[in-house]
Structure 1
Amino acid sequence: MKNLLCDALTLTQDARDQGRLALSPEHVHQINQRFDACCAQAIKFHEGLPPLARPMKTRKRGRPRRRTGHNMARRMQAHKNAILLFLDNLNVPFTNNEAERDLRMTKVRQKVSGSFRTETGAENYCVLRTVAETARKQGWDILEAFSTSPTRLIHDLDTSASKPA
């Protein structure tokens, strides 16, 4: 699975570098087939293993416990479309690291100060962080973005979103 996802990432990076808007349907189909085969192989492997032992003090009701790898393979099979979304839409990042980085400063702020004093203060902080991060991602001057009217910022975002990448 690791090799499959690395191959898919390489394909999408190459497509972006070449200025293409999408991967070829043949590549997407091939990755989908390999993904299905990996999930099926993992599930078959785990179902062939003996069941996990139950602790002595538990009741015998409910489904038997599954191994971590088995649960992961079943989740990957169930959420295939979300996992491979970056193949269909080259604007979708391969990882969610950028979103996690965006949230990190808010969590640091909460931990350092204990929390926000008021809900209004928290909302204002979130608005300011959103404007700053959007300006950074768009390559704008952050201080200029803070002094620009919100309608102008929205207009600039709309015009940059309609331009081809």
Structure 2
Amino acid sequence: MKLYLDMDGTIVDFVSQVNKYNFWRTDKENKVDWKKVKAMGPRFWEEMDWMPDAGKYFEWLYNWKKEKVIELYILSSIDFEDGKKGKMRWIQKNTHFPMENVIFVENPEDKAKYASSDSWLLDDRKKSLDPFKKAGGNIFEFRGNWPEIFDEIENIIRVLKEI
């Protein structure tokens, strides 16, 4: 089983970071002002907090990777270099995760390139999940609750072991 983890809104708290710096557009409700995000550079990304409970459950998943229970990857979309640099620094600073298991794509829809019958995407955005599923992959829709999603992952692993 290959498990791909999204970063923003799944592992890291993107919305809290946008709130912290008030990087919302004034002309449209609930839209990020990407000019401000980009102007801040890599620091915007590398200073993010974990999503609630994400650190603990990420460690469990990482241990499963080390025990070869699952293949684990971080699969994140970012379309500018400073964002990629900031995300890489966050991973290096906050985890022991191998960088060769970190994949960046330009658009959320591009995550579908990694879809297969034995792959699963954990993401909070339909924009990523729908194309992944349509391309033959399996999905976990993250709704902000790590204990709940971890139970789902654990159940799937249990079923796959029985096959």
Larger proportion of helix: 1
Q: Which has the larger radius of gyration?
A: 1
Q: TM-score normalised to the size of structure 1?
A: 0.21
Q: Which structure has the higher relative contact order (CA within 8 Å, separation 6+)?
A: 2
